[in-house]
Chain A
């Protein structure tokens, strides 16, 4: 997991497996980075994610909500077809941009 902050855009490069066990740590690290950087756009990059279940949906929705509170938009990128299917079950595509 890696962060990049430039031009007010915070990109979170997620990696490995996103499940309930790992989500807590990802959540904490991402939230403190959002608060520290105060970006105007949050990009969650799923390119290096090898597994995701519905815990990933909770993770994205939670970050979207926090970002929204500070006036920041959220986008996701690099999402595989199957992970997209899971993320879209929640209607997330109406709230955030899929790139």
Chain B
């Protein structure tokens, strides 16, 4: 059985200036499990994608809040939930396809692909009109390559 070793929650304004703060704070929390630099950077990148999506798509750069819930388990996995109460996603499967974007030129449509490739598990739950929860799970090996 895996036990919960540590957890933290954040409730913060959905402003783009907080993107750097949030990926850094989640990385610092995960660092308690003694990860490699590579694993820390994977977490930073994946969190940055999810947080950016809440700001850009969920709230369409208007006001709202982001809720992060991170847990560290005894089997050295971190589970990070990033939640918004924004517009939600009509078709999650389609949204997760590589290169799919609803936001024009400067977005690449690769956010979910990046989250998938830099974590061990990505799950997305969304209700149109209610919001979106992205859960990232990452195993920390701490082994140096």
Contacts and interface: CB of A to CB of B under 8 A. Distances in A.
B77 interface: no
Interface in B29-87: 38, 41, 44-45, 48-49, 52, 55-56
The residue among A20, A57, A82 with the most chain B CB atoms within 10 A of its own CB is A20
Nearest to A83: B45
A90 to B, nearest CB: 6
Contacts of A82: 38, 41, 45
Contact of B114 (A23, A27, A53): A53
Contacts of A21: 16-17, 19-20
A33 interface: no
Main secondary structure on A side of the interface with B: helix
A82 B42 CA distance: 9
Nearest to B99: A90
B119 to A, nearest CB: 13
A73 B117 CA distance: 30
A10 B16 CA distance: 29
Given A19-B19, A20-B19, A20-B55, A53 B48 contact: yes
Interface in A63-93: 65, 82, 85-86, 89-90
Nearest to A27: B106
Contacts of B20: 17, 19, 21
A89 B117 CA distance: 10
Contacts of B19: 19-21
B106 A58 contact: yes
Contact of A61 (B52, B55, B108): B108
Interface in A1-54: 17, 19-21, 23, 27, 51-54
B98 interface: yes
A96 interface: no
A98 to B, nearest CB: 17
A94 to B, nearest CB: 13
B114 A59 contact: no
Given A21-B19, A89-B98, A58 B105 contact: yes
B111 interface: yes
B49 A53 contact: yes
B127 interface: no
